[in-house]
Amino acid sequence: MIKTTIATELIHCIWLVMLHIKGNTQNQLEFELEGFMQRVLIRHANTLRF
């Protein structure tokens, strides 16, 4: 399950980069990546607790 979650997050990250290449603003990309990193860190912390 953890591997699937990581794969899903990586796909999301790639999708965000593709949006940026298509002309999204820098601020939107930074906002999305910040949210992505927060989710990864929270999931990693939750995994370490158990």
pLDDT digits (tens, 9 = 90+) for 13-44: 777 777 766 666 667 777 778 888 888 888 77
- Tokens standing for residue 42: 């929270």
Radius of gyration of the chain (CA): 13
Domains of the chain by residue range: 2-49
CA distance 35 to 32: 5
pTM of the model: 0.43
What is the model's pLDDT at position 25? 66
